[in-house]
């Protein structure tokens, strides 16, 4: 899936978790911080932490009044 950078609107070729191109990411956060952001957001995407609105199909905790 190809996205667009939220800053410059250029196409982003890879399937990254953050919608910022390398050029803008380096300008905004610097090389080291942008690398860390891409890495951590990639791991979060892999784990499914970025799936907004998803419903866990496991059993719901039982809450009762005593």
pLDDT tens-digit series, residues 9-37:
999 988 888 899 999 999 999 999 999 99
In a domain, 4, yes or no: no
Quickly list H helices, the chain.
22-29, 31-47
- Paired tokens of 63: 């809450």
pLDDT tens per residue across span 42-62: 898 888 887 776 555 555 555
Give Cβ neighbours of residue 8 (< 8 Å, ≥ 6 apart). 21, 23, 24
In a domain, 14, yes or no: no
In a domain, 41, yes or no: yes
In a domain, 39, yes or no: yes
Please say if the pLDDT value at position 1 is more than 60: no
In a domain, 3, yes or no: no
Tally of structural domains, the chain: 1
H helices, E strands: number in the chain: 2, 2
In a domain, 24, yes or no: yes
Please give the residue range of the domain that contains residue 24. 20-49
């Amino acid at each position: 899936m190809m996205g667009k950078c939220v800053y410059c609107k250029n196409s982003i070729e890879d399937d990254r978790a953050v919608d910022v191109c390398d050029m803008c990411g380096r300008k905004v956060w610097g090389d080291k911080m942008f690398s860390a952001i891409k890495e951590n957001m990639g791991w979060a995407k892999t784990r499914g932490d970025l799936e907004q609105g998803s419903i866990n199909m496991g059993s719901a905790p039982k809450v009762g009044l005593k």
